[in-house]
Amino acid sequence: MNHNSDKRIILADYIFEDLGPEEMIQIEQEIKEDPEVSELYNLNVNVKDYLKAKIQLEEMKSDPCLAEAEELAEHAFEDQDTFTEDRASKPKVKPWVKGPRLFFTASIAATIAALVLISVFKPFTNTERLFQGYYAPLNASDYSQRGETSSLYKDLSEGINRYIQGDYEESTVFFNQMGSVYADQPEVQFFSGLAYLGLEQYEQAGVILADYVEHNTRFLPEALWYLSLTCLKTGDIAQARDLLIRLSAYEGMYKRSSQLLERKLRRIK
């Protein structure tokens, strides 16, 4: 994970008040003094506002009461538009006649606005938000050359390519078929676990990756990382923290991320 990715995560933590007091002060100072950090901060705020609005809109669409109110409002505004367009061709009436119609239109519009305002915004739980912030499919483009036999290489390449393409279901089919012949090959078990994780079958992914971590050393940092995220998703916070602490001892791309994530998990009761 590069420096900008780390900074985005820290800024997201700041916006959601997931940092300690000293960290809050430090990042606020950076926002004031560093134009790049300030730009990233504004981007994070805009993304948060966008997601909040999108979730509210989805809730509105699924609210039968709101749907009924919206339909009434459409009729009301339609009536008002018709009234406005046709007023020139109709006899003039006393001012008080159009008052009730305008009042009805405004009332319906106000009702919709009130429903929007009182709709409950359901943010992601801490664990869900953390998972969404840290999970990304493995960039497996450089793993397809590690087969040990021509037949294994061909099947591995096909399975890994399906994983890279996001076709996790087909990927699991390949790796399940290979498991009966190449069960002792680390790549088969490892990518099988990743494919199940991509399918959001977290229990199955956890079983496979936990067994892999126990019996293999190849791809161990990657396996520890994705197993910790799987535990986070399934709610096993203690196990996720243990795995992240173990992973932080390894130098490499996951060191910083594992330290940051483990620190955040300490705050989840």
pLDDT tens column, 156-210: 888 899 999 999 999 999 888 887 667 678 888 999 999 999 999 999 999 999 9
- Of the two residues 113 and 140, the one the predictor is more confident about is 140
Distance CA 252, CA 165 (A): 25
Indicate if the pLDDT at residue 51 is higher than 80: no
- pLDDT reported for residue 184: 74
- pLDDT reported for residue 60: 58
Q: Report the 10 Å Cβ neighbour count for 78.
A: 11
Q: Which residues contact 27 (CB under 8 A, 6 or more apart)?
A: 10, 11, 14, 19, 37
- pLDDT reported for residue 225: 97
Ranges 87-101, 155-169, 186-200, 240-254: which has the least confidence: 87-101
- pLDDT reported for residue 49: 76
- Of the two residues 7 and 260, the one the predictor is more confident about is 260
Length of the chain in terms of residues written: 269
Distance CA 158, CA 162 (A): 6
Indicate if the pLDDT at residue 45 is higher than 60: yes
For residues 246 and 268, the answer to whether their CB atoms sit within 8 Å is: no
For residues 236 and 218, the answer to whether their CB atoms sit within 8 Å is: no
Query: Phi/psi class of residue 18: alpha, beta or left (left: φ > 0; alpha: ψ in -120 to 50)?
Result: alpha
Mean pLDDT of 55-59: 61
For residues 172 and 156, the answer to whether their CB atoms sit within 8 Å is: no
- pLDDT reported for residue 232: 95
pLDDT-above-90 percentage for the chain: 33
Indicate if the pLDDT at residue 61 is higher than 90: no
- pLDDT reported for residue 111: 44
- If you average pLDDT over every residue of the chain, what do you get? 76
- pLDDT reported for residue 182: 72
pTM for the whole structure: 0.56
Distance CA 149, CA 36 (A): 49
Indicate if the pLDDT at residue 229 is higher than 50: yes
Longest dimension (CA), the chain: 92
Indicate if the pLDDT at residue 146 is higher than 80: no
For residues 143 and 160, the answer to whether their CB atoms sit within 8 Å is: yes
Quick: pLDDT tens for 8-35: 778 877 877 777 788 888 889 989 998 8
- pLDDT reported for residue 1: 45
Mean pLDDT of 44-66: 65
- pLDDT reported for residue 126: 74
Indicate if the pLDDT at residue 150 is higher than 80: no
What domains lie within the chain, and their CATH numbers? Answer: 3-59 (no CATH), 64-118 (no CATH), 129-265 (1.25.40.10)
